[in-house]
Amino acid sequence: QSVLTQPPSVSGAPGQRVTISCTGSSSNIGVGYDVHWYQQLPGTAPKLLIYGNTNRPSGVPDRFSGSKSGTSASLAITGLRAEDEADYYCQSYDSTEVVFGGGTKLTVL
Amino acid sequence: QVQLQESGPGLVKPSQTLSLTCTVSGGSISSGSYYWSWIRQPAGKGLEWIGRIYTSGRSYTSGSTDYTPSLKSRVTMSVDTSKNQVSLKLSSVTAADTAVYYCARDGGWGYNYWGQGTLVTVSS
């Protein structure tokens, strides 16, 4: 069982907007630790998608955005494309530990 | 461009020690302040953080480690700055330790560099 809770799956049609939630607690997200998001395509290593709650690394399309409030964070993807079909993970910190969400599989219908 | 490459045996027998090395190229491992982590992923499952080691060319805390509590008694991480390598040792392995093992670098803004991962199977 992961420290951060994500929905196992989400889906959307091309062009639509989807959100993926990441729920933590007062010992991790809620205490102020940053949340980062990763995209993992099949058979590849995870790729940093959002860092510091809301920031996109160079090269990540602005269709991807992150937010954080209280003990939760969210990843939003607008203008869904077929190539967005992947697993998405949130990550934060809990004292001296790094914690991940269980991952969310995004299916583009 | 920084690159990370994991290496080590792909097959380990139960009760033995798993040993992996992450070789860093494109920059010195101690040129900045970084956390080097090992993260694993069993087939079809999510990411599990194993632990991290801190490197800094200027800090007395360089070489300090943090491990996930569930594996702490079996994990050792170390750094060899002369070889630009980070190492992982996991003792007393069982089939539950079978996974793809990744090394990754966190500069304070998430893991922006990852190795390609290496599959380690625990089997007799």
Tokens matching residue A74: 């969210």
pLDDT of residue B104: 98
Determine the Cα–Cα distance for residues B53 and A19; give it in Å rounded to an integer. Answer: 33
| DSSP-derived 3-state class of residue B56 | coil
Please write the tens of the pLDDT for every residue from A62-81.
999 999 999 999 999 999 99
pLDDT of residue B62: 74
Contact call for A46 and B46, based on CB within 8 A: no
Tokens matching residue B114: 């990852």
Instruction: Check if the beta carbon of residue B124 is closer than 8 Å to that of residue B13.
Output: yes
pLDDT of residue B50: 98
pLDDT of residue A13: 97
pLDDT of residue B39: 98
Question: Could you write out the DSSP letters of every residue in A57-76?
Answer: PTT--TTEEEEEETTEEEEE
Q: Per-residue pLDDT for B60 more than 80? A: no
pLDDT of residue B56: 84
- Contacting residues of B for A96, CB less than 8 Å apart: 66
Contact call for B66 and A89, based on CB within 8 A: no
Shortest Cα–Cα distance, A96 to chain B (Å): 6
Determine the Cα–Cα distance for residues A26 and A66; give it in Å rounded to an integer. Answer: 19
pLDDT of residue B90: 98
Determine the Cα–Cα distance for residues B73 and B93; give it in Å rounded to an integer. Answer: 12
CB atoms within 10 A of CB B4: 21
Please write the tens of the pLDDT for every residue from A9-66.
999 999 999 999 999 999 999 999 999 999 999 999 999 999 999 999 999 999 999 9
Of B41, B43, B39, B42, residue with least CA distance to B52: B39
Range in B1-10, B22-31, B50-59 the model is least confident about? B50-59
Please write the tens of the pLDDT for every residue from B74-99.
999 999 989 999 999 999 999 999 99
pLDDT of residue B80: 92
Mutation to test the B interface, candidates A60, A98, A104, most B Cβ within 10 Å: A98
Determine the Cα–Cα distance for residues B3 and B107; give it in Å rounded to an integer. Answer: 14
Contact call for A45 and B114, based on CB within 8 A: yes
Of B89, B113, B120, residue with least CA distance to B29: B113
pLDDT of residue B61: 65
CB contact A57 to B (< 8 Å): yes
Contact call for B49 and A103, based on CB within 8 A: no
Contact call for B66 and A46, based on CB within 8 A: no
Contact call for B114 and A97, based on CB within 8 A: no
Residue whose pair of structure tokens reads 């999510």 in the numeric block:
B46
Q: In one letter, which amino acid is A4?
A: L
Determine the Cα–Cα distance for residues B120 and B124; give it in Å rounded to an integer. Answer: 13
Q: Per-residue pLDDT for B59 more than 80? A: no
User: What's the rounded mean pLDDT across residues B31-58?
Assistant: 92
